[in-house]
């Protein structure tokens, strides 16, 4: 059954989109990530214009993050104070990111920048996660004690604040800078940024793992909401029909994924996720390096 | 197939009944529908064009969609990666262009007439501001753009034959893919005898989004800030609903 997408201005198979939403939703429920880094390339792959894919995916992530954060709030796993600081950075970063996106679109280089960002970040994060999970699997065998975070230059920064939920006393500048960085990524790549935010919170800030996912989701809601509104205003690229279809599939898939994931070990899950991330990265690299079928590329509009 | 044959038959009948109008004119043309409506289930459509002519002669039909600007980028390998390097913008080109005739157009009309009337893919006017009209670069970019349009089924030349039913009646089908632009389409039908255009008819066709599709599109383009906020509210509501539904289950 075909459905016409009013903003993407093309006709897609309704079951294909629902299935994609379900598949990515399953993985995101399984691994506790937003799944934007998988969905946006998939949407581009089936022919959705990259600008529409990025903007619409941001809108879908708003929904999946709201759903996730409610569950974490009930368990008391959200550090609101930390979230708000990350959010301040996130709003600054994503506003700048959407401006950058529009600018690059005018230059005709937006597709390249989207793809290159994916290759670089998926490559780095995927490799780091794989190494970390292999180490964790080994450490588990040796029953090694996890060391607490060490003191370094970051603890010399001014504007120190106390974060009770995270049991931290650190400078407010750190979460704001991380927020800005992730905000830019989320505007350009159409992702929530959880896959960058979560490792940054654990390894850079030293937050306890339990509150990381909830806090990350909390701020992702606002950053992706900001991206959605800004993309709607400057590029008119948010397709509500597409977002709703992805959402329906995604919500159902995520529930199955979460149940399935409960039966597996954390390190194994992270290792599997790392392999998927690396696979997506390799596929995108392959597309960038191999000669295209037609060296000419087309876009509506001037400049 | 049967439905289509029936449609041809009814249309032909309608034409025969209206043959009196043919006395006044040498050429009468009509479409199976004056409007193409893009609704939620739209996945492209085809229209039947039918008509009647008086006397011998060939018929050429040219359909042109609303004008648009198109930028063509050329990809080149830089540092091992394929990057957009050069680009050229063609201004006011037809977003849709389609030609049908009962035999190849170059057998019907001389080259200079085809060029003047812009009949055939090589004759569609595609002008740019940046480059002088006959440069090798422009010719290569233009060829690439036409190739892309043909691949997307937005440009076609003799893709579907124009058929004569008798000495008088003719018909053909015009195909519109799902990615067709909205706006006013002009359909020119030429009656040609001895390498000369005897008469021509212009038929207008309106392609527009309809119903919910139109409302969403207009909302997104005319009140984009409100639309963005609306999209976020819908997403929040959907997320909350999903959470509530599965909490109970």
Cβ contacts below 8 Å, chain A against chain B, sum to 178
CA distances from A25 to A191, A199, A268, B40 (A): 14, 21, 19, 25
Rounded Cα distance between A296 and B71, Å, is 10
Same domain, B121 and B16: yes
The CATH number that applies at residue B94 is: 2.60.40.1930
The alpha carbon of residue A83 is apart from the nearest alpha carbon of chain B, in Å, by 18
The residues pairing with B101 across neighbouring beta strands, listed in sequence order, are B60
Contact A233 B228 (CB under 8 A): yes
For residue B37, give the chain A residue with the closest CA: A4
Same domain, B179 and B102: yes
More confident residue, A29 or B46: B46
In contact, A274 and A46? CB cutoff 8 Å: no
Contact A108 B42 (CB under 8 A): no
For residue B83, give the chain A residue with the closest CA: A112
Does residue A14 sit at the B interface (CB-CB below 8 Å)? no
Look at residue A127 and tell me whether its pLDDT is greater than 60.
yes
Predicted pLDDT of residue B32: 92
Same domain, B215 and B205: no
Look at residue B92 and tell me whether its pLDDT is greater than 70.
yes
Same domain, B66 and B77: yes
Domain coordinates in residue numbering, chain A: 2-289
- Buried (b) or exposed (e) across A54-75, using 16+ Cβ within 10 A? bbbbbbbbbbbbbbbbbbbeee
Q: Which residue has the tokens 């989004």?
A: B209
pLDDT in tens, A7-28: 888 889 999 999 999 988 888 7
Contact B224 A299 (CB under 8 A): no
Least CB-CB distance to B224: which of A9, A236, A300? A236
In contact, B68 and A300? CB cutoff 8 Å: yes
Predicted pLDDT of residue B248: 60
Same domain, B229 and B198: no
Does residue A233 sit at the B interface (CB-CB below 8 Å)? yes
Contact A295 B220 (CB under 8 A): no
The alpha carbon of residue A6 is apart from the nearest alpha carbon of chain B, in Å, by 5
pLDDT in tens, A248-290: 888 888 778 777 776 777 677 778 888 888 888 898 888 888 8
| CA A280, A281, A285, A288 torsion-angle sign | positive
Residue B109 has phi, psi (to 5 degrees) of -125, 150
Same domain, B171 and B245: no
Total structural domains in chain B? 2
Does residue A4 sit at the B interface (CB-CB below 8 Å)? yes
For residue A292, give the chain B residue with the closest CA: B82
3-class secondary-structure state, position A237: coil
Same domain, B75 and B88: yes
In contact, B138 and B88? CB cutoff 8 Å: yes
Same domain, B193 and B218: no
The kind and range of the H/E element at A300 are strand A296-300
Contact B43 A11 (CB under 8 A): yes
Contact B234 A230 (CB under 8 A): no
Query: A221: how many CB neighbours lie within 10 A of its CB?
Result: 25
Contact A6 B87 (CB under 8 A): no
pLDDT in tens, B119-170: 989 888 888 876 666 688 888 888 999 998 998 899 998 878 899 988 889 9
- In this prediction, residue A35 has a pLDDT band, given cuts at 50, 70 and 90, of confident
Range of the domain at B226: 211-249
CA atoms within 13 A on the CB side of A96: 13
Same domain, B165 and B85: yes
Least CB-CB distance to B239: which of A65, A255, A301? A65
In contact, B209 and B200? CB cutoff 8 Å: no
Rounded Cα distance between B114 and B120, Å, is 7
Contact B179 A9 (CB under 8 A): yes
Contacts of B144 in chain A (CB under 8 A): 294, 296
E strands in chain B: 27-31, 35-38, 45-53, 58-64, 67-78, 81-94, 97-101, 127-128, 155-157, 163-164, 169-176, 183-193, 196-209
Contacts of B243 in chain A (CB under 8 A): 66-67, 70-71
Contact B80 A64 (CB under 8 A): no
Look at residue B2 and tell me whether its pLDDT is greater than 60.
no
Contact A7 B225 (CB under 8 A): no
The kind and range of the H/E element at A10 are strand A10-13
- Buried (b) or exposed (e) across A98-112, using 16+ Cβ within 10 A? beebbebbeebbbbb
Rounded Cα distance between B102 and A271, Å, is 64
């Amino acid at each position: 059954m075909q459905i016409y997408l009013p903003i993407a201005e093309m006709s897609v198979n309704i079951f294909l989109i629902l299935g994609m939403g379900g598949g990515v939703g399953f993985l995101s429920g399984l691994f506790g990530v937003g799944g934007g880094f998988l969905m946006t390339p998939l949407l581009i792959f089936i022919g959705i214009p990259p600008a529409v894919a990025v903007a619409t995916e941001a809108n879908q992530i708003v929904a999946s993050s709201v759903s996730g954060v409610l569950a974490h709030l009930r368990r008391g796993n959200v550090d609101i104070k930390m979230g708000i600081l990350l959010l301040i950075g996130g709003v600054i970063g994503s506003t700048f990111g959407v401006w950058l996106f529009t600018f690059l679109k005018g230059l005709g280089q937006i597709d390249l920048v989207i793809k290159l960002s994916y290759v670089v970040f998926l490559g780095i994060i995927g490799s780091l996660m794989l190494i970390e999970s292999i180490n964790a699997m080994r450490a588990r065998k040796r029953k090694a004690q996890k060391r607490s975070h060490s003191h370094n230059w970051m603890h010399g920064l001014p504007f120190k604040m106390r974060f009770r939920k995270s049991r931290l006393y650190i400078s407010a500048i750190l979460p704001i800078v991380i927020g800005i960085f992730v905000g830019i990524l989320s505007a350009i790549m159409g992702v929530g940024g959880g896959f960058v935010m979560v490792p940054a919170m654990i390894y850079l800030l030293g937050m306890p793992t339990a509150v990381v996912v909830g806090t990350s989701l909390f701020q992702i809601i606002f950053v992706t909401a900001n991206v959605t509104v800004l993309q709607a205003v400057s590029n008119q690229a948010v397709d509500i029909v597409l977002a709703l279809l992805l959402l329906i599939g995604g919500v159902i898939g995520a529930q199955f994924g979460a149940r399935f994931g409960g039966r597996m070990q954390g390190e194994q899950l992270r290792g599997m996720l790392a392999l998927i991330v690396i696979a997506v990265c390799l596929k995108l690299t392959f597309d960038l390096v191999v000669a295209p079928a037609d060296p000419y590329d087309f876009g509506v509009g001037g400049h | 197939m049967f439905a289509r044959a029936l449609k041809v038959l009814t249309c032909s009948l309608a034409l025969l009944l209206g043959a009196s109008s043919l006395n006044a004119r040498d050429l009468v043309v009509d479409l199976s529908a004056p409007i193409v409506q893009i609704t939620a289930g739209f996945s492209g459509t085809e229209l039947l064009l039918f008509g009647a002519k008086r006397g011998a002669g060939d018929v050429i039909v040219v359909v042109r969609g609303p004008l648009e600007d198109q930028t063509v980028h050329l990809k080149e390998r830089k540092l091992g990666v394929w990057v957009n390097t050069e680009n050229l913008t063609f201004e006011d080109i037809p977003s849709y262009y389609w030609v049908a005739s009962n035999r190849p157009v170059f057998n019907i009309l001389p080259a200079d007439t085809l060029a003047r009337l812009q009949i055939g893919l090589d004759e569609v006017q595609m002008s740019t501001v940046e480059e002088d009209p006959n440069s090798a670069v422009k010719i290569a970019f233009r060829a690439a753009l036409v190739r892309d349009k043909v691949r997307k089924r937005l440009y076609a030349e003799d893709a579907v034959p124009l058929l004569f039913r008798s000495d008088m009646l003719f018909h053909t089908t015009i195909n519109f893919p799902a990615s067709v632009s909205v706006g006013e389409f002009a359909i020119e039908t030429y009656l040609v005898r001895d390498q000369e255009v005897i008469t021509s008819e212009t038929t207008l066709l309106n392609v527009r989004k309809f119903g919910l599709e139109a409302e969403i599109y207009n909302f997104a383009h005319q009140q984009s800030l409100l639309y963005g906020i609306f999209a976020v509210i819908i997403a929040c509501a959907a997320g909350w609903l999903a959470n509530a539904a599965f909490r109970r289950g």
